Amino acid sequence: MGGFYEEAVVQKLGLRSLLDLALCLPANYEDRRLARSFTVGATQTFQARVREAHRQGKNFKVTFFLPAFNRAVSAMIFHPKPFHYKTFQQGEELFISAKVGEFNGFIQLSQPKKVGSVGELVPIYKYPKVRQDSLKAVIRKYLDVDALLRCGLYEQEARTLYGLHFPANVPDFDDPRLLHILKSVELLNHLQKLSKKRRDFPAKIRLSGSLEKFYGRLPFTLTPEQQSAIDAVQKDLNSDTAAKRMVVGDVGSGKTMAILAAAMIAYPHYTLLMAPTSILANQLYEEAQKYLPFETALLTSRKRIGDYRQATFVIGTHALLHKSDLPSPALVMVDEQHRFGTKQRHALATLTNSGEARPHFLQFSATPIPRSQAMIDSKMIDISLITSTPFKKDITTEIVKPKDFGKLKTTIQSEIDKGRQALIIYPLVSESENYNYQSLEEGQGFWLKHFDGVYVTHGKDKEKDSVLEEFREKGKILLATTVVEVGISLPRLSTIVIVGAENMGLATLHQLRGRVSRNGLKGYCYLFTKSDNTERLQQFAKTKNGFEIARLDLKFRKSGDMIDGKLQSGEQFRWVDMAEDEALIEQIGLRLDKER
C-alpha cells in the first residue's frame, strides 16, 4: 500500500491482509439521503434555507425553512463555536444533518451541521489510532469486489462485505445471515494467515521401523484414538518432509503409548525425548524399559542410566541441552513443550538442526484443548487428539465450604487408613493480604500437627522432585501448589483437595483432578471455596472429559491470540465464538484446504 498516510493506517491498525482492512467495519452510518418525513430520535438530512439565526443565552438558535416540507423548524446548537455563526447566516441555502426531536408537539432539530454531499449513506469509522478520512481513502483505493474475490471469498461474501463499506441501505447487524458471513470471513482470514506461517523442511531421513515387536509386548489393546494417533505419526515419519505434529491427550488417555510407538518407528535411528521434569523423564524411561525391545538411556541433572551416545532412544530433561556430544537425532520429541521456556526450546532446535534438513519433530501435551482450537492450530502444525481413556475413572467431584471441613478431614483420614494418599493444593506459597485463603506456609502447621507422613513442596522448591519421589513411596499427605498439575503418576493417590478452586481455570482443575484414580482406585476431588458463585465449579463437577472442559473453559475466558502471540487471554475474534462455532471452524478449514 503506497502513500505515507496509507502506510500509517496499515501500521497503526496492524493490518496484514486485505481482509484485515475489509473487516475494519464502520461503527455506524450517517444517512445523508434527503429525508421525506421526520423520524423522531434519528439523525436526518435536509435541504434548508436559514430564515433566522440569533444567540439565545449561551446557545445559538437557528430557524430553517425546509422546502421539501414547506415549513419552518427551529434548531438549537449548544456550546456554539465561531464557525457555527459563520456557517448559519440568514439567507444561506445549504444541506444540513441534524437529530430530530419533538417538544410540546413541535418538531425541533438539535446540533445541525452542514454537509457537503447528499444522497448516500456515509459510513462512520471509529478507530482511535487513525484519522477517519485516511482510513476511508485506503478503503476507497484498495477495496472492491474483485479484490475480495481474489482473497478467496465467495461472491455473496465479497458483495456483502463491500456493501458494509459502500452501503445502499443501513445494514442490520442483528441479521443471522450477515453474522454468519462475518464469522466466515473472519475465520478464513485468520486461517489463511496461520497457513502462511507454516514452514516445512526436508527430513533428515524417512523412518519406517516396524511396530510388530512393540505391539507384541503390550498387555492391553490400544484405544481407537491411540491407534489413530500412532497411524498419523507413522505416516508423518515415513515422509521426505520433516514431521511437525502435536499429540494432545486427555488426562490418563495413554499418550505415552504414542511416544513409545514413535521411538519404535524411528528404530534403529537415534531418537531424543525431552521432558520438563526428572520425575516425568523417569516415568517415561520406566515405560520404555517395559515395552521397547532396544536400549534406552536416561539423562537428568540428578540421574544417568546408560550411555546417551550409544543408546537408540535417549530420554532426558533440559540437562540434554548441555551435552555437546549428543548424536544427531532423526526424531526429536518433547513432552509438555509449553512447560519449557523460549530459550530452552531455541536451544533444543539449535542442538538438533543441521542445515536445511531437519529431524522429525513431535510434541505431546496432556492439557486438552477445545476441538475448535485444535482445528485452527492445525493450519500451522498437524494435530492428533486422544479424547478417550483406556479405562473409565471413578472420581466423585464435590464443592465444599469451610463448614464442611470437619467431614473432609474425616474422609481424608479414612482414605489414609486404607493405605491411600491425599493431596492438598494451595493457591499460594506465602501469605498475601489480597487473598482470602490460607497459603501453603500458613496451612501446613495444621496438617503436620494432626497427621504423620506429611510432605510439603512447591514450584520454587529446588528439592521438589526428590520430595515427590519420596512421597510416592512413603507419604500419606502431600501439601503443594500446582507444581503437580501435569503428568506425575502417584498410583496410591485417591483424594485431592483444591483450595480456592474458583480462582483456577477449569483446565487446571481438570489436570489436578487427573492426579487421582490413576490405577482404577475410587477417587475424590474436593473443590474448597468460600465463594457463593459456584456456577463454573458446578459445571466442572458434572463433566469428566477434558476436551469438553476445555470448551467450557473457553466460554468463561476468551482464548489467546495465535498469530502474534501478544494476547494470552482476551478477545481473539470479534464475531467468532470459539466455544460455539466449532462446526463453522471445521467447514472453513476444509474450504481452505480445498482451495490450496
The residues, any chain, with a CB within 8 Å of residue 154's CB and separated by 6 or more, are: none
Direct distance between the N- and C-terminal alpha carbons of the chain, in angstroms, rounded to an integer: 25
**Cα–Cα distance measured from residue 526 to residue 399, given in angstroms and rounded to the nearest whole number:** 6
Q: Do 212-367 and 394-543 agree at the fold level?
A: yes
In eight-state DSSP terms, residue 560 is P
Q: What local confidence, expressed as pLDDT, does residue 182 receive? A: 94
Three cell numbers written together for 508: 487446571
Q: What local confidence, expressed as pLDDT, does residue 186 receive? A: 93
Q: What local confidence, expressed as pLDDT, does residue 596 receive? A: 64
Backbone angles phi, psi at 287, to 5 degrees: -65, -40
Three cell numbers written together for 480: 503443594
Domain boundaries in the chain? 4-30+120-171, 33-115, 212-367, 394-543
Encode the chain (596 residues) as per-residue pLDDT tens digits: 455 557 788 888 888 899 999 999 998 888 888 999 999 998 899 999 999 999 998 999 999 999 999 999 999 999 999 999 999 999 999 999 999 999 888 999 999 999 888 888 889 999 888 888 899 999 999 999 999 999 999 999 999 999 999 998 888 888 889 999 999 999 999 999 888 888 889 999 999 999 999 999 999 999 999 999 999 999 999 999 999 998 988 877 889 999 999 999 999 999 999 998 888 899 899 999 999 999 999 999 888 999 998 999 999 998 888 888 888 899 999 998 667 766 776 677 777 776 788 999 999 988 777 777 777 777 788 889 888 877 777 899 999 999 999 999 999 999 999 999 999 999 888 887 778 889 999 999 999 999 999 999 987 888 888 888 899 899 999 999 887 655 567 889 999 999 999 988 888 898 889 888 877 779 999 999 999 988 899 999 998 888 888 888 777 765 443 333 333 333 468 888 877 788 888 888 888 877 76
For domain 33-115, the CATH architecture is: Beta Barrel (2.40)
**Cα–Cα distance measured from residue 163 to residue 157, given in angstroms and rounded to the nearest whole number:** 10
Superfamily designation of domain 212-367: P-loop containing nucleotide triphosphate hydrolases (3.40.50.300)
**Element of type H or E holding 446:** helix 440-450
515: left (phi over 0), alpha (psi -120 to 50) or beta: alpha
Q: What local confidence, expressed as pLDDT, does residue 523 receive? A: 92
Peptide bond into 491 cis (omega under 30): no
What is the CATH number assigned to the segment(s) 394-543?
A: 3.40.50.300
The residues, any chain, with a CB within 8 Å of residue 528's CB and separated by 6 or more, are: 400, 401, 402, 408, 497, 498, 499, 500, 501
Three cell numbers written together for 491: 498410583
Q: What local confidence, expressed as pLDDT, does residue 560 receive? A: 40
**Which contacts (CB < 8 Å, 24+ apart) does range 300-303 have?**
302/278, 302/465, 302/466, 303/278
Is the pTM value of this prediction over 0.95?
A: no
In eight-state DSSP terms, residue 71 is E
Asked if 430 and 553 count as a contact pair (C-beta separation under 8 A), the reply is: no
